[in-house]
Amino acid sequence: MSLKVIKKPTLAETQKSLVDAVRTKTVSDNYKDKADRLSVYVRLVRNNAFGFIDRCFTEAQKHCTKEEWDDVKEFFVREGKAHSPYFQDIAGEFLDFCKKHQSLNENILHLMDFECTQLLSEVSEEKVPEEFDSNNDTIMQLSGTTYLKDYPVDFISSDFAEFINKQQQVIIWRDSRFDVYYQKIDELDYWLLSYIQEQPSSLNMILKSLEEVITSNDQQYFLLLEKNWFKWINNGVIIPQ
Domain extent at residue 52:
11-104
The pTM assigned to this predicted structure is 0.85
Confidence of residue 138 (pLDDT cuts 50, 70, 90): very high
Is there a domain that residue 15 lies in? Answer: yes
* Residues in CB range of 20: below 8 A, 6 or more apart: 26, 28
Point out the least confidently predicted range of 27-31, 37-41, 51-55, 163-167.
27-31
How does pLDDT run across 3-19, given as a tens digit for each residue?
Answer: 554 556 665 565 665 66
* pLDDT value of position 212: 77
Is there a domain that residue 90 lies in? Answer: yes
| Structural domain count of the chain | 1
How does pLDDT run across 59-94, given as a tens digit for each residue?
Answer: 999 999 999 999 999 999 888 877 776 778 999 999
Q: What angle do CA 105, 169, 228 make, to 5 degrees?
A: 165
Is there a domain that residue 130 lies in? Answer: no
159: left (phi over 0), alpha (psi -120 to 50) or beta: left
* pLDDT value of position 123: 94
**CA 226 – CA 223 distance, rounded (Å):** 5
How does pLDDT run across 195-210, given as a tens digit for each residue?
Answer: 999 999 999 999 988 8
Is there a domain that residue 26 lies in? Answer: yes
Report helix angle 106-123 to 35-56, nearest 10: 100
Q: Residue 120's closest CA among 151, 148, 97? A: 148
How does pLDDT run across 17-27, given as a tens digit for each residue?
Answer: 566 656 666 66
For residue 98, the tally of other CB atoms under 10 A from its CB is 22
* pLDDT value of position 45: 84
Average pLDDT score over residue span 116-136: 94
Whole-Å CA distances, 148 to 105, 118, 133, 229: 22, 11, 25, 16
Is there a domain that residue 23 lies in? Answer: yes
pLDDT > 90? residue 178: yes
Confidence of residue 194 (pLDDT cuts 50, 70, 90): very high
Q: What angle do CA 33, 34, 35 make, to 5 degrees?
A: 95
CATH classification at residue 70: 1.10.150.690
Whole-Å CA distances, 69 to 30, 44, 55, 94, 143: 33, 19, 13, 12, 34
Is there a domain that residue 56 lies in? Answer: yes
Whole-Å CA distances, 144 to 45, 120, 148, 173, 199: 32, 10, 11, 9, 14
* pLDDT value of position 56: 96
Confidence of residue 213 (pLDDT cuts 50, 70, 90): confident
pLDDT > 90? residue 190: yes
**CA 157 – CA 112 distance, rounded (Å):** 16
Per this entry, what is the length of the chain? 241
Is there a domain that residue 35 lies in? Answer: yes
Is there a domain that residue 17 lies in? Answer: yes
